[in-house]
Copies of this chain bind each other. A is one copy, B any other.
Amino acid sequence: MSLRERKKERTRLAILDAALDLFLEQGYESTTVEQIAGAVEISPRTFFRYFTSKDHLVLWFHDHGEQLMVETLRLRPQGEPPFTALMHAVRAVLSDMEGSTEDEHQRFLKLRRILDENPQLIGQSVARGAGTERRLAELVAAHRGVDADTDQLSHLIVAFAMSAMRVGFECPRRDGSVPEITGRMAETIELAERSLRPGWDL
């Protein structure tokens, strides 16, 4: 990893940390890009070279998780029921989260508090993921040998899986350590699996 790349990574994290702290201190809406840029001593223009938008700061983790899900999904065995495969992909995200550094954990906990205080941002993350959700539905449809444009079940499978993940992330809203939260997310996933009729996703 070159000096250049390391510096970029350091700047990116500095922006992210400054922003998360400012959001917690004075609220998401009340914090401007100018303030964030000022806190890390860069120009506002440079901010937008690291993050495509203000929202992007909050959706950073979401993007990461989503990418991980897609990758995991491609590696699942062909014969596996689609919903089960998706649940494994979600679990891969949980494992990744548990295995990250203490700094990452802190960022995750801060982010969770910010999302809790700004419900519209949770929807924003769905907004960002809408395209991916559609792509996932296409993967599932292909796997099931049906047409993604007309098969409702493929879309429903993905929508249910993402719902379970989202509910696990948001609820319960009590604070806690990262392992506690991922533990509860795992519970929600199992709850979702138990709620569905065996073989519904074939």
Residues of A within 8 A of B (CB): 119-124, 126-131, 134, 137, 149-153, 155-156, 159-160, 162-164, 166-168, 170-174, 184, 187-188, 191-192, 194-197, 200-201
Contacts and interface: CB of A to CB of B under 8 A. Distances in A.
A43 to B, nearest CB: 26
Given A166-B159, A195-B196, A200-B195, A131 B119 contact: yes
State how many copies of this chain the complex holds. Answer: 2
A147 B118 CA distance: 21
Contact of A167 (B156, B188, B196, B200): B156
Contacts of A195: 153, 156, 160, 196-197, 200-201
Nearest to A170: B155
Given A123-B129, A150-B171, A152-B167, 14 more contacts: A119-B130, A120-B127, A120-B128, A123-B124, A123-B127, A124-B127, A151-B172, A152-B171, A152-B172, A152-B188, A156-B164, A156-B188, A156-B192, A160-B160
Contacts of A192: 156
A44 to B, nearest CB: 22
Nearest to A153: B191
A53 B191 CA distance: 38
A166 B133 CA distance: 12
A127 B130 contact: no
Most interface-central of A187, A188, A195, A200 (chain B CB within 10 A): A195
Nearest to A130: B123
13 contacts: A119-B131, A122-B127, A122-B130, A124-B127, A126-B126, A137-B171, A151-B171, A152-B168, A152-B191, A156-B163, A156-B191, A195-B197, A195-B201
Contacts of A123: 123-124, 126-130
A149 B163 contact: no
A65 to B, nearest CB: 16
Most interface-central of A121, A167, A172, A188 (chain B CB within 10 A): A167
